Structure 1
Amino acid sequence: MLGSAPPPPPGNLLCLHRGPWCWDLPSHQDPSCAGICPFPLAPRACAGCGPSSPHCRVSAPRDPARAKSPAPSTLGWGPRPVPGSTWGGIPRIRSPVPRRWRMRLPGAMRLVRFRGAGGGEPRLGLEEAAGGSLVDLSAAEPALPRSMRAFLETGQSGLAAARRALESGRHRLPRGTVRLLAPVGDPEKVICVGLNYRDHCLEQDVKIPKEPIIFSKFPSAIIGPFDDIVHPQESSEVDWEVELAAVIGKKGRHIEESSALDHVVGFTVANDVSARDWQMRRNGRQWLLGKTFDTFCPLGPALVTKDAVADVHNLSIRCSVNGRLMQDSSTSQLIFRLPKLIAWVSRFVTLVPGDILLTGTPPGVGVFRKPPVFLKRGDEVQCEIEELGTICNKVV
């Protein structure tokens, strides 16, 4: 933390998120500052964030000494215009957010599962930073389970052991020597939500649901963040769906919305791959079979603990196919937010550690394009969510 901050001097309305993790740009709109910056809320929004920004903190004159070009983003994309978004006629820019600082926050971790260069059984680990070297948690704490689900069942004691391993400076592995697996490979349940983005409802001209629409995938659909998606012979309409996935860390039934996030350990990136012919026309139009072919649930790259995410309901979410941007939205568009979803689902089933909740997809899926576009063998699908990371899967 930065400690106490001086009162902001008067001047033009410009961002002053002057923490070591922030880029002082006139068009700055960094959601990672919410709840972290020590500056008080500004009485008005700043020129960079726009009049509706929920995370503007303070106004002050721009400091030329601080003007700098942002470093490369760990997600692989740099500053770019936000389509259709301006302030005072000047295009707003989505700036990359340095993420290494998150490892300094108490409790913030990026948990992974991996296999070493020699193969063998899956092991637990931690990323030192997004895309960085790994800590071999199974070597640092041999008493811990090797299954992420079993690890999460240990609760706070397991997380504390992981923090010790992260802080020890030992058992480091270069990123290039390991193969990342899905952060949770054996959940009891994979629970999915349909029609949960306002703009996704608009693109298919359907009414916004009044209650969450729930379906599921089988755990056998899960693959790792860089594994291949197998195009089934039974379908000719395989589609993409980037989604925010929440992972349950604490058992509960009939959970109150006010305490729902206490039951979440963290978040990861998911692709809810879907065979539209089976989902929309075959098998009585039940969604299950079209959603749960083997390899239809890529996950990863890490389980990012909630301590490391400033505002899960204000993250950029994107999907590209062969380098062409197909989906580009924000989790602010969610109709039912996580507390509501968790409370709703727990009315029907008991949530247990390791359960995965896919929260829905934004607009831009292939089936609603004109003409429709579907995945074919050889295509490469990249899904990314701000602060969480990127997964990339080839269709074979």
Structure 2
Amino acid sequence: MNDVSPERGQRPHGAQEGEVPLSYAQQSLWFMAQLVPDHPFYNLPSALILRGPLVDDEEADLQTLSFAFGRHYEVFSASDGERALAMMQDPAVASRVQLVLSDQRMPNLNGVDFFRHLLEIAPDVVRILVTGYADMQSIIDSINKAHIYQFMLKPVDTDELLVTVRRALEAYDMRVELDEYHGGLERLVQQRTKELEQVNDDLRAEHQRLARAQDQLVIQEKMAFLGTLVAKYIDLTYKSIRLPLADARIEFENDFDEEVGEVPVSEVSFGRVLASMITNSCEALVHKQAKAGPEFAPRVRLVTRKRGELVEIRVWDNGVGIPEPQLREIFHPFFTTKASPRNIGLGLSIAYDIVVQEYGGRIEVRAREGEFTELIVRLPVRPLDA
């Protein structure tokens, strides 16, 4: 085998006239690439590409490293940290960077400070710090401040450096793959969550639709013709208190609006409201007739009207009326005194709760002591849940 190793200072085979002679270390590394193709460094997978500035303070080392790595990697080189940071400010360069190899002691900016600034620009880049000084503080700072991947002391064994670079880039690629996997998994989870939320929204909407349909069926069962209901409870109330009314000869006047028709009320619950209103009128008339004598003509007038989106029911009597101070208290629970000319009691309190809470309506009273009392109920035409 012919000896192809050049003498010290001689250009390797193929060097052109005018080129600066390579150093002995550079020549040796160049021939290692030519003669030892199975060296671990030169068997790295092609996907592991070093894309990062090789920062060093010794020009000879910088040339040697750039020459060695440049055979299989794209190399950006800079002679100090400030120049390297300036390069990394360029998005076209920063987007291609995977690993940075830097010396610790350099002019203007040392390796730890350089990596600390680089961490803000490119936090995912692998960082390797090389120094010829066994400075424990530099080691501590490089770990705590610069988050380096590896700290290496000079003189650096070439094989060790190349293996370290390879493993660092393998770790980089693995982290990138994991990030992509986690990102894809997160997107998949978000997509699946969105799909489940849509299904849940559809189920909720269907449930609400069925609930409304069920409510409508219940409402249909509760619909009652108001005029018929009022007439029915006049008769029921009259019969339930017929003994006190035997001599009262009360005249009932009905004025029912045909446009009212059916209203969304329960015959049972709203029947209690009507019964309470009619009973109070009848008792007031009996009480007044006992005082006024047979000349008094007791009357109860029942009126229904359609008022836009409301239905109005009025029960008026020409009985003893209600003292004005008591008008604001008659719907309070347990408001009843035997000394009162009207024994309203608990009935109107229950009627108030039914009208307001169950049907979303209003109930009020108008009265003049000794002359008349009128109870007025207003109900919405549409049910609350419609």
Specify the TM-score bucket, using the shorter chain as the normaliser: under 0.3
- Structure 1 or 2: more helix by fraction: 2
Bigger fraction of residues in strand: 1
Q: TM-score, normalised by structure 1?
A: 0.20
